[in-house]
Amino acid sequence: MIFPLFAVLVPALALADSPSTHLIVTTSNNVQTGAQSRQTLSDSILISSTVEPNGLTKCHCAPATPLPCLLPAEEHKGKEGKKGASTVLVKTVTIEDNRDQTQVILEQPEPSAAQWNLSSALGFQYPDIPVAWNLRDVLLYAVSIGAQTANQSLVNDPNFTVFPSYAACLSFKGTSEGWVNFTSGRYNGPIPGFPDLTRFPPVQDFQYIEPYLPLPNNSGAVPWTIKKKIISVEEHVSPSGSNLIIENELTLFDPNGVKYTRLIAATKYLGGSANGFNYSERVAIGIEPKPVPSRAPNHQIRITVSPTETLVYRLNGDYNALHVDPEVGIKYGYGELPLHALSYFGFSAFELVGHLGGGDVSSLHSMQGAFGLPVSPGDELVLKAWEVGNGPDGTKEITYVVEDLTKNYTVLDRAAAYIRRK
């Protein structure tokens, strides 16, 4: 079956001669008349296109995904939830003219049943995650994010306050009181609309936390429950490669069904590829951060990373060998012993509460951050925070970034928080 013809404008390409076998492309030279050079590309190419005001479709070509996908020339939702560029994967293209731009007509092949409908994953519910913790766990977490003897409520108090970002550790820890197998602890089952994600190394890309109620320092005899569902899907394609990104909403409930904490955690699957073009769609968000102001920050906070930070933080339940085996870190391009992303997310939460919330853990309404380049033990960090307005429930809205002064790059951005000033 052949679908209707559509017109495109294709940039000039240097293509090797080879016979055309499937698609017929006719061209008209918009630059000048005369002898034309007939050139053909018989390998798969990806044509990503946008509709111009004159009705033609302007497109560019790039190497196609190795997965066997054929996509109809339909509009899809772009990053901001608006209609974006249509995309077609074609098997062969013949270009009659290689100068400047050439108008071509393509016969579109029938879409393959193998295309990946990423949006069908939205709302997918994972199996419930039972979780539990004790007083020793919350004391260890406080020390791993920077608590000192000056922070008596966290380290030496009859009631031992739980720092709210501890909830982000629980999906890794589960109910275990010892070592957790990082690989077996992850969900490795199928996700609707996605290829097999176990083929791609996962790294944490983003974290959001919103505590509704303070956590007790011991979960008790009956496990609590984390309910987890997909709220955002993305395929990001660039000249340097492609990644698949899934954002999950995790909600922590006590045994009576009372909601204590809402989290959003995004996982990036390195090298992941589905349809071969940029696409994203979401159904829920955390905070929409305001841009970093051009003025000087209201607060600059220096943080020195302990040389043993990766060894200590992993005891919170994330035993990924990436953080303790130098060979693994080097293999995946992160250098020796990169910090857990949630480690310096925890640093940030601890310092924001300490400097803006007077050290009162109830001052943290919500916060988020996107993880960038890796941090190493011993690095010097600086957290820069700007007060950019008023937030909900009597809070101040904060835009912040974390920079690695040792490596001279940003490690946490798209970052925002709502803090109750004390």
Unique residue bearing structure tokens 């390998």? 43
Q: Is the pLDDT of residue 365 over 80?
A: yes
DSSP state letter for 247: E
Tens of pLDDT, residues 380-414: 999 999 999 999 999 999 999 999 999 999 999 99
Look at residue 1 and give its three-state secondary structure: coil
Q: Is the pLDDT of residue 29 over 60?
A: no
Tens of pLDDT, residues 284-336: 889 999 999 999 999 999 999 999 999 999 999 999 888 999 998 888 788 88
Per-residue pLDDT at 332:
79
Q: Where are the alpha helices (DSSP H) in 32-179?
A: 135-144, 152-155, 170-173
Paired residues of 208 in beta bridges: 264, 368
Strands 101-109 and 26-29: antiparallel
**Percent of the chain predicted with pLDDT > 90:** 60
Whole-prediction pTM:
0.73
Q: 163: number of CA atoms within 13 Å, CB side? A: 32
Tens of pLDDT, residues 194-231: 999 999 988 899 999 999 999 999 999 999 999 999 99
CB environment 59-95: b (16+ within 10 A), e (fewer): bbbeebbeeebbbebeebeeeeeeebbbbbbbbbbbb
119-419 maps to CATH 3.40.50.170: no
More confident site: 85 or 237: 237
Taking Cα atoms as reference points, which of 285, 262, 300, 289 lies closest to residue 397?
A: 289
Per-residue pLDDT at 5:
31
Taking Cα atoms as reference points, which of 323, 310, 342, 318 lies closest to residue 206?
A: 342
Q: Is the pLDDT of residue 361 over 80?
A: yes
Tens of pLDDT, residues 49-68: 444 555 444 444 333 333 22
Average pLDDT over residues 361-375: 96
Residue 379 banded pLDDT, cuts 50, 70, 90: very high
Residue 267 banded pLDDT, cuts 50, 70, 90: very high
Look over the chain and give the mean of its residue pLDDT values, rounded to a whole number. 78
Q: Is the pLDDT of residue 3 over 60?
A: no
Average pLDDT over residues 159-181: 91
Q: Is the pLDDT of residue 268 over 90?
A: yes
- The values of phi and psi at residue 156, to 5°, are -160, 75
Q: Is the pLDDT of residue 37 over 90?
A: no
Cα–Cα distance for residue pair 216/160, rounded to 1 Å: 9
Per-residue pLDDT at 75:
33
| Contact between 376 and 416 (Cβ < 8 Å) | no
- The domains of the chain are located at 2-115, 119-419
Per-residue pLDDT at 54:
52
Average pLDDT over residues 157-167: 91
Residue 74 banded pLDDT, cuts 50, 70, 90: very low
| Contact between 376 and 305 (Cβ < 8 Å) | yes
Per-residue pLDDT at 108:
37
Per-residue pLDDT at 184:
62
Q: Distances from the Cα of 343 to the Cαs of 127, 340, 385, in angstroms?
A: 26, 5, 18
Tens of pLDDT, residues 106-149: 333 333 434 899 999 999 999 999 999 999 999 999 999 999 98
Per-residue pLDDT at 180:
82
